[in-house]
Amino acid sequence: MPSIAITGANRGIGFEFVRQLSEKPDNTIIALVRNPDAAQSLRDLQRSNIHIVKADISDHATVKAAAAETAKISSGSLDLLINNAAWLPNERHALSLDKYPSDEILSEDLVEAFNVNVVGVVHTINAFLPLIKKSAIKKVVVISTGVGDTDLTLRTEYATSGPYCVSKAAVNMVVAKYAAECKPEGGPIFLALSPGLVNTQTAPPTPKQLEEFAAMVASFKKYNPNWERPLTPKESVDAMLAVIHNLKPEQSGSFLSHKGNQDWL
């Protein structure tokens, strides 16, 4: 009975991981969310193998408590941890680093992105690592992004969303550091995994969002002229689960796309 814990599980890619993985009744799913009372979408699935547990990755005490609760649910071990929760670009995501309205706001965004996307992930891994090490499967996945790749940034001239991209580049190093430590011990296997460009919007885009999206598409066409459209959450998670399933020990520490390589779109 594989056990899987997923952070940021109540919407978008995290919810899709829960939806797909919980379709197998033998899987035990620990859906980690900041506010369980607001996780109606998870309850609407009406699946007894989903356990909704409070965990805010920017609040280390809640993460430790969630690991303790997970140990009770999964009999003291955990097969797979998917670090999906993240600070995502806000209304300033279309700004380049030198176009912020003030130094203070730029600093706030950089610090918040690093605090959640790097520090929060480190503390989450540390809290759950003792459970992972007791598993026979032993896999830890961090959802990263292709725009955290310096080569893609230079080839596309994608200069915006700096705090998010910088933090994701940093968390790729976090994954490599854990892999470097654990490889000699025979695991766990660590992976930074890009979901591709995924449309997770639940409301129609505003004219401003459409304009920003068109500019982003133009940038990405420089990287892959044949790229057509964003993935749906289902398409992305289908692909990522195949990569996770086929992950080999010698790949530990890698940064891969949903295609299992470094083709980010």
Is residue 158 part of the annotated active site? The answer reads no
Q: Give me the catalytic one of 158, 164, 178, 223.
A: 164
Q: Mean per-residue pLDDT for 47-63?
A: 97
Query: What whole-number distance in Å separates Cα of residue 57 and Cα of residue 112?
Result: 12
- Catalytic pick from 168, 177, 208, 222? 168
The mean pLDDT of the chain is 95
d(Cα 263, Cα 65) in Å, to the nearest integer? 37
164 labelled catalytic: yes
pTM > 0.85: yes or no = yes
Q: What residue ranges define each of the domains in the chain, with the CATH number in brackets?
A: 3-256 (3.40.50.720)
Average pLDDT over residues 129-148: 97
Name the band, by pLDDT with cuts 50, 70 and 90, for residue 217.
Answer: confident
In this structure, what token pair is assigned to residue 159? 């200069």
Please check the confidence at residue 1 and state whether its pLDDT lies above 70: no
